[in-house]
Amino acid sequence: MAYELILDGARVIDPSQGIDRVTRVAFDKGRVAAIGDDVSLAGCPDVRDLRGLVVTPGLIDLHTHVYWGGTSLGIDAEQFARDSGVTTAVDTGSAGPGNFHGFRRHVIEPSAIRILAYLHVSFAGIFAFSKTVMVGESEEVRMLAPAEAAAVADANRDVVVGIKVRVGLHASGRSGMQPFDAAMQVAEEVGLPLMAHIDHPPPSYEEVVERLRPGDVLTHCFRPFPNSPLSGQGRVREAVWAARRRGVLFDIGHGKGSFSFRTARAMLANGFPPDTISSDIHTLCIEGPAFDQTTTLSKLLCLGMALPDVIAATTVNAATALRRPELGALGPGSVGDATVLRLEEGRFDYVDTTGEHLAGDRRLTAAGVVVGGRWWHPR
């Protein structure tokens, strides 16, 4: 048979199938059609010679803010995808039940790339996040809207993948665990996972992870002191180990202030890699220190994670967190999304959210994107 698109000659890394070798990937009718050395090029109108490059399942960024025009922190999802090789952007709480319908109609539905969402338990989502105005949406408990959030989540299950809450001094002031309690009620009511943000105490890192269930996500998991996952002796706190044992997922969520090289080195040295790697991209970190998803992936690669593990953390692991097994894989019948990456060697400067610099020897950049079985971004 003749395929519509074939990616030829690249190193294909698909952790969902344990594949890491030079081979071919074929697409037809919007899905992955075949993978292997025996894929025939005959009759295919679009064969891409990708020798020297890396092909992966379409990258999933589990933590983004892409409600462009509807919130002050939203960035353009399609431009971000072009720059970062992301085919699924998961917006984490930009919109709450009071403004989700605009997000869906004006951003999610017209987008060329897939946008999924964690719905915020706060009525207006993250409504005041800018260089000049910063109001923690969870601080005002009168804005918590569990009944409305449950109704909106239930009515939009095709795109709503979970419930989001932000707790910590900056996000929730002195309201402690009240916002978390409201969000957990919604998550349990609609049967969806919870993603919890944590910043400065209160509450503590331990208070949050002790309440999370299997499949729930703690984002900003490698954040700096205070509220680091590490003890003063550089060991992973027992509450953090206990959470991982019962199935809580730990997500990087780099962002403007939530990723530290010092924490990351210690966590990796303790045998505690992240489950998922995400950028937490928004208007205040897109020009640094996060920049994009491939830069975030590069940082973990230069800190010692193996390339297949880095790819797993932004493909199959993220798909598992989303409960969307059709994503994050290149098996025949999977969604026809793929990312083409360039792995460069040299000397590259990286910076974390504390201002520490890292001299890295490798860098991943986006070299192309396949969306719905078609070559979308021929950089």
Res. 88: pLDDT tops 80? yes
**C-alpha separations of 19 from 269, 305, 326 in Å:** 26, 17, 17
Q: Mean pLDDT over residues 175-201, rounded?
A: 97
- The answer to whether residues 80 and 52 belong to one domain is no
- The answer to whether residues 18 and 102 belong to one domain is no
- The answer to whether residues 99 and 128 belong to one domain is yes
Q: Which residues pair with 363 in a beta bridge?
A: 344
- The answer to whether residues 175 and 299 belong to one domain is yes
CATH number, position 239: 3.20.20.140
The span from the CA of 241 to the CA of 222, in Å, is: 14
Task: Let me know if 195 is exposed, middle or buried by CB neighbors in 10 A (0-12, 13-18, 19+).
Answer: buried
113, containing H or E segment: none
- The answer to whether residues 262 and 290 belong to one domain is yes
Nearest to 267 by CA among 332, 214, 218: 218
The span from the CA of 73 to the CA of 91, in Å, is: 11
Nearest to 236 by CA among 282, 205, 261: 205
Q: Mean pLDDT over residues 268-274, rounded?
A: 98
335 neighbors 328 (Cβ within 8 angstroms): no
Res. 215: pLDDT tops 80? yes
Residue 350 within any structural domain of the chain = no
Q: Would you call 31 helix, strand, or coil by DSSP?
A: strand
**C-alpha separations of 191 from 16, 159, 161, 184 in Å:** 25, 14, 10, 10
String of DSSP letters for 203-245: S-HHHHHTTPPTT-EE-STTPPSSS-SB-TTS-B-HHHHHHHH
| % residues pLDDT > 90 (the chain) | 97
Of residues 38 and 1, which shows the higher confidence score? Answer: 38
> If you compute the radius of gyration of the chain from its CA atoms, what whole number of angstroms results?
20
- The answer to whether residues 173 and 285 belong to one domain is yes
Please give the pLDDT value at position 377.
61
Q: Mean pLDDT over residues 256-280, rounded?
A: 98
Total structural domains in the chain?
2
Residue 352 within any structural domain of the chain = no
- The answer to whether residues 296 and 157 belong to one domain is yes
Residue 81 within any structural domain of the chain = yes
Residue 65 within any structural domain of the chain = yes
pLDDT in tens, 167-179: 999 999 989 899 9
Give the dihedral sign, CA 125/210/229/252. negative
- The answer to whether residues 87 and 223 belong to one domain is yes
Res. 145: pLDDT tops 50? yes
Res. 379: pLDDT tops 90? no
Domain range for 140 is 59-322
In the chain the first and final C-alpha atoms are separated, in Å, by 29
Q: Mean pLDDT over residues 82-110, rounded?
A: 97
pLDDT in tens, 281-297: 999 999 999 999 999 99
Residue 353 within any structural domain of the chain = no
Please give the pLDDT value at position 378.
45
CATH number, position 366: 2.30.40.10
- Extract long-range pairs of 305-308: CB within 8 Å, 24+ residues apart: 305/268, 305/273, 307/13, 307/54, 307/343, 308/13, 308/15, 308/20
Q: Mean pLDDT over residues 70-86, rounded?
A: 96
Q: What is the pTM of this model?
A: 0.97
Res. 54: pLDDT tops 90? yes
Residue 351 within any structural domain of the chain = no
Q: How many CB atoms neighbour CB 174 within 10 A? A: 8
Please give the pLDDT value at position 281.
98
- The answer to whether residues 51 and 64 belong to one domain is no
Res. 223: pLDDT tops 60? yes
- The answer to whether residues 231 and 337 belong to one domain is no
- The answer to whether residues 46 and 167 belong to one domain is no
Q: Would you call 164 helix, strand, or coil by DSSP?
A: strand
pLDDT band at residue 245 under the 50/70/90 scheme:
very high
Task: Supply the mean pLDDT for the chain.
Answer: 97
- The answer to whether residues 161 and 259 belong to one domain is yes
Q: Mean pLDDT over residues 317-333, rounded?
A: 97
Q: Mean pLDDT over residues 119-123, rounded?
A: 98
Please give the pLDDT value at position 1.
76
